[in-house]
Amino acid sequence: MSRREQRLQQQRVTRRRFLGLAVGGGVVGAAAAYGIVQLAGGDDTKQSAGSSTTASSTQPVSPTETIPAGADSAYARVGRAYLQQAPEESSTDALQQALPPEFTAGGAPNWGALGPQVGTDYTKGDIVTLDGWRMSRTEARAAAYVALTAG
Amino acid sequence: MRGDVCIVGAGAAGITLAKTLAGSGRSVVLTESGALESEAETQDLYKGPMVGTEMQSASGPLTLDQIRLRFFGGTTNHWAGWCRPLEPIDFGPTPARPDIAWPFGREELDPWYEQAGALCQLGPFDHTYQGWTSAGLSQPLLETDLVTTRIIQVSFPTKFGELYRGDLRQASNVRVLTHANLVRFDTAEDGGAVSAAVIKTLSGNEFTVEARVFVLATGGIEVPRLLLASNQTRPKGLGNENDHVGRYFMEHIDVGGGFAVLPQSTFDMSLYNGKDVPVSGPGRLSGRTIQLKGAHILTDKAIQEHELFGIEATLESSPIDEGPVQDAGIKGPDAGTVYEQLTGRKPGVISYVRLLAEQSPNPRSRVTLTNEADPLGVPRAQLDWQLAKADRESMRKGLAIMADELGRIGAGRLQVGVGGIEFNQGPAKTLFELYKVTPADFTRPEFPVSVGFHHMGTARMTSDPKQGVVDPNCKVHSVSNLYIGGSAVFPTSGTSTPTFTIVALALRLADHLQKQVLV
């Protein structure tokens, strides 16, 4: 067990001991244990140049490829959440008008075409919350488009 | 019993005071309600009703006897050891709380923070990221105009009762009394000075401690309880001429803020997971290591322009194969897919965001006395904790700023979910199932809150006697020889855990007593 793990363990034991003392064995605890989980697979080779993660980078990352998303996917769920928030946009025509033309020009959604408009959204503060996710309105519209068109 | 100084309460403040006054040539009596270990009968003296906003736990709402420890060492017997000073902006008025400020700025406490670091077994007094670059910390996730980085130094955690017991035992001028419960202060006829501390034991003994100076250091709930109960000559209680004793009770809202999804391999997360670094220094620090842990806070610009209270965000981790953390993997692919769709980047890390938020000083949030007395005859305390709508809204807005900055610079994305008590133990498919919030929590006026067990503000420090309880030297405005130690005197809570500031204030008070009062 590493020193850090020992320290964490000690803190937990201490907290448990306190709880045992004060609560008589009941479990109290704001956020007692939390996780960082490495997600399986993938690589970071698609990072765009300059997509540094500190303040020196101000450009949002531009998606560079199309990723399949079915109607049951969490992504489509996000899109449906947007349509609930903005029912006036609940048609592919309305969404196509609001999205960059290149997004659907080739038939399948082209996420790579969203980048500049996403950046503008962030600059303007045009951000929405969908299913908990904070995202630009353009990203939300793209998800909504997928929700409407995914098979 | 007589002494030059009578200190009531052997927690972080009381022990710091007694230890500092050891060898001073002044006789010190330190009284502690509990023993050297916890005892149920003594702990029960803390019992009392809680009304107002519920402090949630996995087993239901918390009670007054669950959120404190009543034995030698006080809450340092269970603290996590996180130390970070209050920010300079915490001392002044802000657009969100324009009417309250400390009577001095951060610079007044800096030398005492420096000394407090030794007692808390920390490294050099520097909590900036830049100050620790030589320690090889990994890059911070966010450093922008609106969000900045701070370093929490994690004490071992230092248990004051265990570590400094020997020093107090060896000090010929310090007398420590355990099982000694203050039941009230007796005063001169006009109530302008304390003449004696009346002490009782659960076994039936009663005696008084007479002293030139009294320091009440029993925590943010017991301080007002005992001031209000000392009403023999002043019917409203000591120091309560202007009805401030017990009011402005503040806690740190300590809840989940959601999950951050970060690109794979982009970050070395050691800054957030905690990094052990060797430190050198006087005494007990030699040859030891401390843990440094990164945290993000809102900048002054964000707080002022958006009229917010402060928040502190930390990214929490523990070994993957431990308990509830495994559950995070269940929702990981779900969040990862959304992230990948949004950004076109492969997700690499999903991390729980923990928030510690400032609460605004609210006069309706208060400690009062009940009609029921404890076995020693002291009226039990009632806590009416009032978390304002503005506190919750500010937390949401502050977290949204952090999330948007994360997205704006392409560092990752945040699925926010303010609230939540702890991870569910069973299978969970979504973020919200995982830690007991729902999407509706974003629009509900209230969400379940857990707390930091930090009790502040109930005897607040002000220059104007009409606006608070103690003066800038922690002396009760209207009582010539009664001082308050601990976080009860905090006019604002900031977002840093309070023990470090409690110790700094106690060192400052000890210096004041030695140089100005006990001469």
**Which residue among A33, A44, A69 sits closest to B263, beta carbon to beta carbon?**
A44
Measured CA to CA, the distance from residue A75 to residue B185 in angstroms comes to: 64
**Which residue among A31, A39, A143 sits closest to B348, beta carbon to beta carbon?**
A39
Window 95-134 of B: residues touching A by CB (8 A cutoff) are: none
Tokens of residue B7, six digits: 């200190």
Q: Is A87 on the interface with B (CB under 8 A)?
A: no
Residues B11-38: tens digit of each pLDDT = 999 999 999 999 899 999 999 999 999 9
Q: Is A67 on the interface with B (CB under 8 A)?
A: yes
Measured CA to CA, the distance from residue A44 to residue A28 in angstroms comes to: 40
Tokens of residue A121, six digits: 């959204």
Determine, for residues A33 and B263 on separate chains, whether the beta-carbon distance falls below 8 Å: no
Residues B367-380: tens digit of each pLDDT = 999 999 999 999 99
Measured CA to CA, the distance from residue B260 to residue B180 in angstroms comes to: 49
Please report the sign of the dihedral spanned by the C-alpha atoms of residue A13, residue A14, residue A15, residue A18.
positive
**Has the ipTM of the complex gone over 0.85?**
no
**Where does residue A58 rank: exposed (0-12), middle (13-18), buried (19+ CB within 10 A)?**
middle
Q: Which residues contact B415 (CB under 8 A, 6 or more apart)?
A: A131, A132, A133, A134, B258, B259, B261, B335, B338, B431
**Which residue among A26, A30, A111 sits closest to B255, beta carbon to beta carbon?**
A30
**Where does residue B455 rank: exposed (0-12), middle (13-18), buried (19+ CB within 10 A)?**
buried
- Answer whether residue B320 shows pLDDT above 90: no
* Higher pLDDT pick, B347 / B292: B292
Residue B60: what pLDDT?
75
Q: Which residues contact B284 (CB under 8 A, 6 or more apart)?
A: B118, B121, B163
**Which residue among B403, B432, B439 sits closest to A134, beta carbon to beta carbon?**
B403
Q: Is A18 on the interface with B (CB under 8 A)?
A: yes
Measured CA to CA, the distance from residue B419 to residue B255 in angstroms comes to: 5
- Residue recorded with tokens 């000073």: B85
**Where does residue A62 rank: exposed (0-12), middle (13-18), buried (19+ CB within 10 A)?**
buried
Determine, for residues B345 and A38 on separate chains, whether the beta-carbon distance falls below 8 Å: no
β-pair type (B2-8, B28-31): parallel
Determine, for residues A34 and B346 on separate chains, whether the beta-carbon distance falls below 8 Å: no
Determine, for residues B58 and A27 on separate chains, whether the beta-carbon distance falls below 8 Å: yes
Q: Shortest CA distance to B496 belongs to which of B452, B435, B444, B458?
A: B452
Residues B48-87: tens digit of each pLDDT = 999 999 887 767 788 999 889 999 999 999 999 999 999 9
User: A2, A53, A64, A118: best mutation site toward chain B, by most B Cβ within 10 Å?
Assistant: A53
Chain B residues in contact with A70 (beta carbon < 8 A): none
Please answer whether residues A76 and A147 qualify as being in contact, where contact means their C-beta atoms are separated by less than 8 angstroms: yes
Measured CA to CA, the distance from residue B382 to residue B111 in angstroms comes to: 37
Among B255-264, B301-310, B330-339, the range with the most confident prediction by mean pLDDT is B301-310
Q: Give the gap in angstroms from C-alpha A21 to the nearest C-alpha of chain B.
A: 7
Determine, for residues B325 and A53 on separate chains, whether the beta-carbon distance falls below 8 Å: no
- Answer whether residue A67 shows pLDDT above 80: no
Determine, for residues A134 and B276 on separate chains, whether the beta-carbon distance falls below 8 Å: no
User: A21, A67, A72: best mutation site toward chain B, by most B Cβ within 10 Å?
Assistant: A21
**Which residue among B256, B404, B415 sits closest to A122, beta carbon to beta carbon?**
B404
Residues B445-500: tens digit of each pLDDT = 677 788 999 999 999 999 999 999 999 999 999 999 999 999 999 999 999 999 99
β-pair type (B147-154, B206-216): unpaired
Determine, for residues B264 and A39 on separate chains, whether the beta-carbon distance falls below 8 Å: yes
Reported confidence tier of residue B339, pLDDT bands at 50, 70, 90: confident
Of the given ranges (B53-57, B128-132, B188-192, B242-246), which has the lowest mean pLDDT?
A: B53-57
B207, β-bridge pairs: B199
Residues B197-215: tens digit of each pLDDT = 999 999 999 999 999 999 9
Q: Which residues contact B296 (CB under 8 A, 6 or more apart)?
A: B140, B141, B142, B147, B148, B149, B150, B312, B313, B314, B402
Give the 3-state secondary structure of residue A8. helix
Please answer whether residues B71 and B161 qualify as being in contact, where contact means their C-beta atoms are separated by less than 8 angstroms: yes
Window 36-55 of A: residues touching B by CB (8 A cutoff) are: 36-39, 41-44, 46-47, 51-55
Q: Average pLDDT over chain B, rounded to whole?
A: 89
| Mean pLDDT on B298-315 | 97
Q: Give the gap in angstroms from C-alpha B316 to the nearest C-alpha of chain A.
A: 5
Q: Is B344 on the interface with A (CB under 8 A)?
A: yes
Q: Give the gap in angstroms from C-alpha A100 to the nearest C-alpha of chain B.
A: 15
**Type of residue at B152:** I
Q: Which pTM value belongs to this model?
A: 0.88
Chain A residues in contact with B144 (beta carbon < 8 A): 55
Residue A70: what pLDDT?
64
Q: B332 to each of B28, B263, B326, B439, B476, how far by Cα in Å? A: 57, 13, 10, 18, 53
Residues B217-253: tens digit of each pLDDT = 999 999 999 999 999 999 999 999 999 999 999 999 9
Q: Give the gap in angstroms from C-alpha A38 to the nearest C-alpha of chain B.
A: 5
Q: Shortest CA distance to B500 belongs to which of B290, B353, B331, B342?
A: B290
Residues B388-432: tens digit of each pLDDT = 999 989 998 999 999 999 999 988 888 887 776 555 556 555 666
Which DSSP category does B61 fall into?
Answer: S
